[in-house]
Amino acid sequence: MKILVVGGGGREHALCWKIGQSPLVDTLYCAPGNPGIAELAECVHIGADEIDALLDFALAEKIDLTVVGPEVPLTMGIVDRFQAAGLDIFGPNQAAAQIEGSKGFSKDLMARHHIPTAAYQSFTDRDQAVAYIKQQGAPIVVKADGLAAGKGVIVAMTKSEAIAGIDDIMLDKVFGTAGSSVVIEEFMEGEEASFFAFTDGKNILPLASSQDHKRVFDEDEGPNTGGMGAYSPAPVVTPQLHDEIVATIVKPTIDGMADDGHPYVGILYVGLMIKDGKPRVVEYNARFGDPEAQPLLMRMKSDIVPVLQACARGNLAASSIEWHDKAAVCVVMASGGYPAGFEKGLPISGLEDAAQINGLMVFHAGTTLKDGAVVNNGGRVLGVTGLGDTVASAINRAYQGVAKISWKNVHFRKDIGQKALNR
Ligand code: AMP
Ligand code: GLY
């Protein structure tokens, strides 16, 4: 088979690493890829949101299966375009990708199908939104309706913070048209976890549990990021809770999407808040998590390609996934200053030394080549991912790798995986 992976971050590096091990694959392409991916796949110089160029490439190369990593091409309708041209592609179509692309869409879906989540209201009028905040009080959560690269959520501890958030989104339009409409919702306490399931629109194949670390500093301090590290399995998701999540959230979501006329195909990412053993939905994403994909794919024992193909072709019922009976921990190494501004183009040392460590993978995210050297080129730069018999040994392995690698102003959290150990 010829497979094309769309994207160029740590998630796509992990996907290429896993897909490339399949005996079914003859040629693996990645568009646009990155220097780490270039060691495993042929990188194609087409951006992840250049849908016309991606389609031309896939038709010319007779690609058998395209796997979409990031949300932007999904919400732009890449799946609809490829399918119309007769190509197999893994991911939701444009109508189904609204589950991530519009917070209002996803909240209405949950309300209609009785899926547990925070109470909410949507607004397109600034004054009505402000009146609602004054009436509800704080803490309260304000969300831009559309995609905002993970930054459109304000968890406000005071009413004035929430109102300032409304003004940023609706008056100053800091997220552009993503902020034409806002969702205001109840603040939920608890512990977050990430839950993923493959689906062909009818059948569901859940993945192992995982947990992200969203805040930039240790002990969940500082601003939210795209994710500073992740591990799997996550003991907060007990086997009993796993079954409850599937029964009360994942299945009603997939059935609800089908009943509403836009069946969801691909991988569904459910961000959960767990309080007193009860799960509620924080948000949906229409794709694999980043960095959750890195530890999950390192733990996946069976071939992923038949599962991706079965989702795309609507015959997932007979598929299964085997997992290594091990834990995996991914520590994100980021540019100092992220999630705000940072310096780019700084040479990274120690990558060859880290590559010598058994059971360790250094997945590239925001890297590029400058004069033949790997330099930082984004906020999240590397996902150093270790496998171990226990979470503790996977943590040790990951931080052994981190200790070998450095560049000017590098920042990483030192407590990735601690929540699992504290249980
Ligand atoms: P989202 O982009 O919707 O995942 O939100 C980003 C982050 O904001 C989440 O991972 C949570 O940490 C936090 N968050 C979002 N909604 C809520 C909520 N209703 N209550 C508490 N925290 C929330
Ligand atoms: N890890 C968070 C995300 O992928 O959105």
Mean pLDDT (whole number) for 120-134: 90
CATH number assigned to the domain comprising residue 358? 3.90.600.10
> Quick count: other Cβ atoms within 10 Å of Cβ 367?
25
Residue 404 has pLDDT above 80, yes or no: yes
- If asked whether residues 204 and 282 sit together in one domain, one would say yes
Backbone angles phi, psi at 238, to 5 degrees: -70, 165
| Ligand 1 contacts CB of residue 144 (under 6 A) | no
The ligand minimizing its distance to the Cα of 211 is 2
pLDDT tens figures, 347-356: 999 999 999 9
- If asked whether residues 137 and 89 sit together in one domain, one would say no
- If asked whether residues 272 and 219 sit together in one domain, one would say yes
Using the mean position of ligand 1's atoms as its centre, give its distance from the Cα of residue 319 in Å.
Answer: 32
Residue 177 has pLDDT above 80, yes or no: no
**Is 254 among the domain residues?**
yes
| Ligand 1 contacts CB of residue 192 (under 6 A) | yes
- Domain count across the chain: 4
pLDDT tens figures, 246-294: 999 999 999 999 999 999 999 999 999 999 999 999 999 999 999 999 9
Helix/strand/coil (H/E/C) assignment for every residue in 196-216: EEEECCCCEEECCCEEECCEE
Residue 178 has pLDDT above 80, yes or no: no
Write down the pLDDT at residue 423.
81
How far apart CA 182 and CA 140 sit, in angstroms, is 13
Write down the pLDDT at residue 292.
98
**Is 283 among the domain residues?**
yes
Domain end point (choices 133, 151, 186): 186
How far apart CA 148 and CA 171 sit, in angstroms, is 16
- If asked whether residues 292 and 341 sit together in one domain, one would say no
**Is 318 among the domain residues?**
no
171-180, 181-190, 362-371, 395-404, range with the lowest pLDDT? 171-180
CATH number assigned to the domain comprising residue 34? 3.40.50.20
> With bands split at pLDDT 50, 70 and 90, how would you rate the model's confidence at 388?
very high
Nearest to 163 by CA among 182, 145, 146, 149: 182
CATH number assigned to the domain comprising residue 169? 3.30.1490.20
- If asked whether residues 361 and 401 sit together in one domain, one would say yes
Pairing of strands 27-32, 42-43: parallel
- If asked whether residues 198 and 155 sit together in one domain, one would say no
Residue 179 has pLDDT above 80, yes or no: no
- If asked whether residues 234 and 203 sit together in one domain, one would say yes
Ligand 2 atom nearest the C-alpha of 150 is 5
pLDDT tens figures, 23-59: 999 999 999 999 999 999 999 999 999 999 999 999 9
Select the more confidently predicted residue: 104 or 255: 255
**Is 397 among the domain residues?**
yes
Write down the pLDDT at residue 180.
77
Best residue for ligand 1 mutational test, from 270, 283, 419 (most atoms within 8 Å of Cβ): 283
Write down the pLDDT at residue 150.
65
Residue 302 near residue 283, CB atoms below 8 Å: no
> With bands split at pLDDT 50, 70 and 90, how would you rate the model's confidence at 104?
confident
Residue 176 has pLDDT above 80, yes or no: no
Nearest to 411 by CA among 315, 335, 349: 335
- If asked whether residues 331 and 344 sit together in one domain, one would say yes
**Is 172 among the domain residues?**
yes
- If asked whether residues 304 and 336 sit together in one domain, one would say no
Using the mean position of ligand 1's atoms as its centre, give its distance from the Cα of residue 377 in Å.
Answer: 27
**Closest Cα to atom 5, ligand 2: which residue?**
289
CATH number assigned to the domain comprising residue 307? 3.30.470.20
**Is 108 among the domain residues?**
no
- If asked whether residues 154 and 214 sit together in one domain, one would say no
| Percent above pLDDT 90 for the chain | 88
Query: What DSSP line would sit under 213-267, residue for residue?
Result: --EEEGGGEEEE-S-SEEEES-TTS-HHHHHHHIIIIIHHHHHHHHHTT----EE
Residue 10 has pLDDT above 70, yes or no: yes
> With bands split at pLDDT 50, 70 and 90, how would you rate the model's confidence at 379?
very high
**Is 105 among the domain residues?**
no
- If asked whether residues 164 and 230 sit together in one domain, one would say no
- If asked whether residues 409 and 341 sit together in one domain, one would say yes
Using the mean position of ligand 1's atoms as its centre, give its distance from the Cα of residue 191 in Å.
Answer: 11
| Ligand 2 contacts CB of residue 292 (under 6 A) | yes
> With bands split at pLDDT 50, 70 and 90, how would you rate the model's confidence at 144?
confident
**Is 293 among the domain residues?**
yes
Mean pLDDT (whole number) for 118-122: 91
Domain end point (choices 273, 291, 313): 313
How far apart CA 335 and CA 380 sit, in angstroms, is 6
Kindly report the average pLDDT of the chain as a whole number: 95
pTM of the shown model: 0.95
pLDDT tens figures, 147-171: 877 678 889 999 999 998 998 888 7
Domain that holds residue 125: 119-186
Ligand 1 atom nearest the C-alpha of 143 is 3
